[in-house]
Amino acid sequence: MAWFSKKPRIATAPEPIEAPSRMQGLWAKCESCDEIIYRQELEKNLNVCPHCEHHLPWTARARLASLLDPDSFEEFDKELEPQDPLGFSDSKKYKDRLRSTRKALGENDAFISGVGRIEGKPVSIGCFVFEFMGGSMGSVVGEKVTRIFERAHELKCPAIVFSASGGARMQEGIFSLMQMAKTSAAIARFRNVGKPYISVLLHPTTGGVAASFSWLGDIILAEPKALIGFAGPRVIEQTIRQKLPEGFQRSEFLVEHGMIDAIVHRKELRAKLGQLVTLLG
């Protein structure tokens, strides 16, 4: 072997921390630019990569705490628990899947809701827990979303929902599907109150959640580069047997096609929501 083809011994960067620690530990890795980021710095930056501005997943509780006025969030319907109406089982029993997910996350289902304040004004608000079975919507999620609008109706205040969901939860079959109708009907009633419903679409929002309350916002905002659409890209590719163009179904694509109002950087979200609530609340 010629001397110049020898591998340099020191010039290579150390191997990055292994993938499993991506969301834990002291360091995190940006899923977009692969930069290693000090976790505290990332959290201070609302889980937005300081190098490439990529919006990494942000937990529902952190989001609500950070976007609402300090200590104003009061959780409702926390006691709602999922059931197994079909006795569903695939590779695992739905009951077992629920049990282990609930234990791992400390959440009863894929949605957190309650009331809080923005700029001092009350809002009825909720956010998907995407880590909980892909944010899928079963009876509990549907019920909690419905109650957001009922509560907003009662309090005559704006409603805000942050969506991040793969769609309806297959394991609850037809009951999941019917949540689409239930939540949409609740919005129809809420329209009479004269208060805005602001829907914020996060990465990703698809299927039955996109095709019901998420797309019914008076105002629809989205975080940058979020995947938003009815059918998932894989299903579309399989159906039309061709590759989808770059950027298809991303927030930027949707603004271009007139399907949402605006893209809001996470750092500006609090200010934008405050502005809307003040303008219309």
Partner 1 sequence: MANGINYPLDFERPLIELEKKIDELKALSASGSVDFTSEISKLEKKAKKLQTEIFSDLSRWQVVQLSRHSSRPYFLDYVQYLFPEFMELAGDRRFGEDPSIVGGFARFDGRTVMLIGHQKGRNTKENMARNFGMPRPEGYRKALRLMEMAERFGKPILTFVDTPGAYPGIGAEERGQAEAIAVNLEVMSRLTVPIIATVIGEGGSGGALAIGVGNRVLMLENSVYSVISPEGCASILFRDATKADKAADALKLTAKDLKGMNVIDELVPEPAGGAHRDHAKAAENLAKVLRKNLAELAQLSGDELIQDRYQKFRALGVFSEGR
The answer to whether the annotation marks 127 as part of a ligand binding site is no
The least distance separating partner 1 from the CB of residue 214, rounded to whole angstroms, comes to 7
Q: CA distances (Å), 210 to each of 107, 205, 213, 233, 242, in order? A: 23, 6, 7, 14, 23
CB of 1 to partner 1, least distance (A): 46
Tell me how far, at minimum, the Cβ of 266 lies from partner 1, in Å: 23
Distance (Å, rounded) from C-alpha 227 to C-alpha 204? 5
Query: Which one, 5 or 239, has the nearer CB to partner 1?
Result: 239
Give the position of tokens 């019914």: 216
Task: For residue 52, say whether it is annotated as part of any ligand binding site.
Answer: yes
Select 35 or 150, whichever has its Cβ closest to partner 1. Answer: 150
Is 157 assigned a ligand-binding role in the annotation?
A: no
Between 68 and 201, whose beta carbon lies closer to partner 1?
Answer: 201
Please identify, using beta-carbon distances, which residue of 55 and 169 lies nearer to partner 1.
169
The answer to whether the beta carbons of residues 252 and 222 sit under 8 Å apart is no
> Minimum CB separation from partner 1 for residue 167, in Å?
8
The residues of the shown chain that bind partner 1, judged by CB under 8 A, are 79-83, 85-86, 88-91, 108, 138-140, 142-143, 146, 168-170, 172-182, 184-189, 206-208, 210-216, 229-231, 235-236, 239-240, 244, 248-249, 257, 259
Cβ-based nearer residue to partner 1, 108 or 124: 108
Distance, CA of 242 to CA of 239 (rounded, Å): 8
Tokens of 147: 């109650």
Task: State in angstroms the smallest separation of the CB of 142 from partner 1.
Answer: 6
CB-based contact 2:9 (threshold 8 Å)? no
CA distances for 221 relative to 12, 34, 55, 160, 218, angstroms: 43, 27, 15, 11, 10
- How many Cα atoms sit within 13 Å of 14 on the Cβ side? 4
The annotation places the binding site for Zn(2+) at 30, 33, 49, 52
The annotation places the binding site at 30, 33, 49, 52
